[in-house]
Structure 1
Amino acid sequence: MQRPPFALARASVLGTATLHGNAPGCCTPRAQPASTPDVKVRHRAALAELDSTFHCSIIGTCLSTGELRKLVRRLITLDTTAPDIEVHHEAVTLATRGGAGAKALHKALDQRHALAIRQFAAASDADAVQALWDNALASGDVAGAYWATMTHPEGSVAVRQKAFGDVHMLSHLVGASNRADIRRLVALEADNEALKDTVARQHLRMQEADAEHAAALQEASDLIATLRGREMAGGEAVPLEVAAQQQLISAQIERIATAEARRAQADDTVRTLRAEIAHLQAQLAASRSEAQALETMIDRQQVATEDTPHLPALDNRNVLYIGGRPGTVTTIRTLVERAGGHFQDHDGGLEDRKGLLPAMVAAADIVVFPVDCVDHDSVGMLKRICQQQGIDYHPVRSASVASFVELLARLPQS
Structure 2
Amino acid sequence: MTPMLHHKFSLSPSPIPAEAWMPSEVRFLSVWEIPQMMKCPLMGTCLSIEDHQRLLKKAGICTRRMSPPALHEAVMTHIEGPTKAARRIDAFFRKNFESQALPWLHASEPEIRKLWDQGLENGDIERPLYIIACRSNISSALQFHAFGILHMLGHTAKRDLMECRRTITKLENALASEGENLRKIQREQVEERKRMQGEMGLLQEHLRALSHAPSLSSEKKESPRETLDLLNERVRRLKEKNQALTERIRKLEAERENQRRSLEPLETRPGAGPSPMTFLVPDAVPWNTSVSENSPPPLMDKRILVVGGRPCMRARYRDAVESAGGHFEYHDGCIHGGKQTLESRVRRSDLVLCPVNCNSHGACGLVKEICRKHGKCLRMLDSFSCSAIASALSKAAAPSSPESENTHSPPLIAGNRFSAMAP
Report which of the two structures shows the higher radius of gyration computed on alpha carbons.
2
TM over 0.5: no
Pick the structure with more helix per residue: 1
- State the TM-score, normalizing by the size of structure 2: 0.41
